[in-house]
Amino acid sequence: MDSPEPGGLGGTYGGSPIGCAAAHAALDVIEEEQLCNRSIQIGKRMVERIQQMKLNTACTPIGDVRDLGAMVAFELVPDRDSNT
């Protein structure tokens, strides 16, 4: 906080010591509790389940399934054969 010149640090996101400490604490928890690995495990389970649903002809047709950890998306399509 001593390095910026007067007027060189502005805005609400500009290096608040309390905000930085909170961010570091949050990152420590993410690392200690291995939340990134947990996200990957959750995502795999979700994708597996959606892939099973995709094969079920009684369900609405599902197109593409994408994931990045637990952030999973899938497309609902009008026609199972054309996948449009």
Question: Residues 19-28: pLDDT tens digits?
Answer: 889 999 999 9
Contact between residue 61 and residue 78 where contact means Cβ atoms under 8 Å apart? yes
pLDDT of 81 over the 70 cut: yes
pLDDT of 73 over the 90 cut: yes
The pLDDT value given to residue 26: 97
Concatenating the DSSP letter of every residue in 20-54 gives: HHHHHHHHHHHHHTTHHHHHHHHHHHHHHHHHHHH
The pLDDT value given to residue 29: 98
What would the mean pLDDT of 59-83 be, rounded to a whole number? Answer: 91
Neighbours of 54 (CB within 10 A): 17
Query: pLDDT (tens digit, 9 = 90+) per residue, 34-67?
Result: 999 999 999 999 999 999 999 998 888 999 999 9
What number of residues does the chain have? 84
What would the mean pLDDT of 64-77 be, rounded to a whole number? Answer: 95
pTM of the model: 0.69
Contact between residue 60 and residue 76 where contact means Cβ atoms under 8 Å apart? yes
